[in-house]
Amino acid sequence: MELELLKSKIDSLVDKNNSKEFTLQAICDLLENEIPYYDWVGFYFKNGDKEELKLAQFTGEETEHTIIPFGKGICGQVAVSNQNFVVQDVSEQDNYISCGWKVKSEIVIPIFVKGENIGQIDIDSHTANIFTENDTLLLEHVCKKVATIL
């Protein structure tokens, strides 16, 4: 993974002044295309005043998990904890919502606007034990850039 090159590409996408929806979709597509083990990339955001997340833009297979209650699954846990969550082997997680039998690992990074956790980026991989510190650094950068357009 060319970390600095990918950060630069993300910066360019965000700085183009396209619609929020277009930019989020472009980020999903870029990450899924550039990183071979990113098999599903999506954004979830807090659903109004409800204690749940709602799926926004994504790239990958369709998912039935378009609404996720706070506390449920990896995404729901991040909504409550406000912490990054890297799961190298989803079969070892008790509170995991399966998005498909192919998913082996998942990484979720929260997005903060004015100190409030308003959403997250969620990455699924069909490969176990695949995520590194570079993935965390890249996705934290993505979330900081995305926060500037929300």
Which residues, other chains included, contact 61 with Cβ-Cβ below 8 Å and sequence gap of 6+?
40, 99, 100
Domain boundaries, the chain: 3-147
Pick the CATH number of 3-147 from 1.10.3720.10, 3.40.366.10, 3.30.450.40, 3.30.420.40: 3.30.450.40
Q: How far apart are CA 79 and CA 91, in angstroms?
A: 21
Q: How far apart are CA 148 and CA 47, in angstroms?
A: 19
Tokens of 69: 């209650």
Q: What is the pLDDT of residue 41?
A: 98
**Rounded percentage of the chain residues whose pLDDT exceeds 90:** 93
Identify whether the C-beta of residue 90 lies closer than 8 Å to the C-beta of residue 96.
yes
Q: What is the pLDDT of residue 98?
A: 72
User: Tens of pLDDT along 47-76?
Assistant: 999 999 999 999 999 999 999 999 999 999
Q: How far apart are CA 95 and CA 117, in angstroms?
A: 20
Q: How far apart are CA 119 and CA 55, in angstroms?
A: 10
The pLDDT of residue 99 is above 80: no
The pLDDT of residue 6 is above 90: yes
